């Protein structure tokens, strides 16, 4: 697994039917597509090698950030968990989150001592415009040897929400 060059790697996308539906190839950790009215890019952020449950399967998590600009703009993060078994590389889990807000801290972090991934994703509350997200979901995902399992989600005010004096609506537990 450690010999795979993910900074120069072709990623395939799959539709709901499980069939390939396009993809992108990173070169030196970057992919960019520009058209007359839009811009789309992916950037390699980090790779974390995860402990596998068995010796015959090697696992790793790759974190990629992306941005898109057209009539509006969006940014996000994407983590893909790969398994390598019998010289076959497979994506076994994919996690996406929305980073189009000011978190006041990194939107993803990984603790190798506990194999824990923490992501911060935009959480729109009533009255939020696309540009001005008042809250964020803090999602803690712990590696169980085969996948990242989520702990209960914590919702907090974003930097914007704090400066605007927003309050979180009362949410049902998730």
Three-state SS across 13-26?
A: EECCCCCEEEEEEC
pLDDT value, residue 40: 83
Higher per-residue pLDDT: 94 or 62: 94
Arithmetic mean of pLDDT, 140-160: 92
pLDDT value, residue 71: 66
Domain chopping of the chain, boundaries: 6-163
Does residue 62 surpass a pLDDT of 80?
A: no
Q: Give the Cα separation of 51 and 83 in Å (integer).
A: 11
User: Global pTM?
Assistant: 0.84
**9: Cα separation from own chain's centroid:** 17
pLDDT value, residue 137: 95
Q: How far is CA 159 from CA 13, 43, 45, 101, 165, in A?
A: 33, 24, 23, 9, 10
The 10s digit of each residue's pLDDT in 85-134 is 888 888 888 898 998 888 778 889 999 999 999 999 999 998 898 889 99
Q: Give the Cα separation of 103 and 139 in Å (integer).
A: 13
């Amino acid at each position: 697994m450690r010999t795979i060059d993910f900074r120069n790697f072709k990623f395939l996308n799959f539709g709901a039917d499980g069939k390939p539906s396009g993809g992108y190839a990173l070169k030196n950790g970057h992919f960019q597509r520009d058209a007359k009215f839009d811009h789309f890019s992916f950037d390699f952020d980090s790779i974390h090698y995860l402990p596998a449950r068995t010796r015959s399967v090697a696992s790793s998590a790759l974190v990629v950030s992306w941005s898109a600009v057209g009539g509006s703009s969006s940014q996000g993060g994407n983590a893909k968990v790969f398994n390598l078994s019998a010289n076959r590389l497979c994506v076994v889990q994919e996690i996406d989150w929305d980073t189009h807000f000011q978190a006041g801290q990194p939107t993803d972090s990984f603790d190798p001592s506990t194999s824990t991934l923490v992501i911060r994703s935009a959480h729109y509350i009533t009255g939020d415009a696309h540009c001005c997200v008042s809250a964020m979901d803090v999602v803690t995902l712990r590696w169980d040897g085969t996948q990242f399992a989520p702990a209960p989600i914590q919702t907090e005010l974003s930097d914007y929400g704090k400066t605007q004096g927003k309050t979180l609506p009362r949410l049902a537990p998730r």
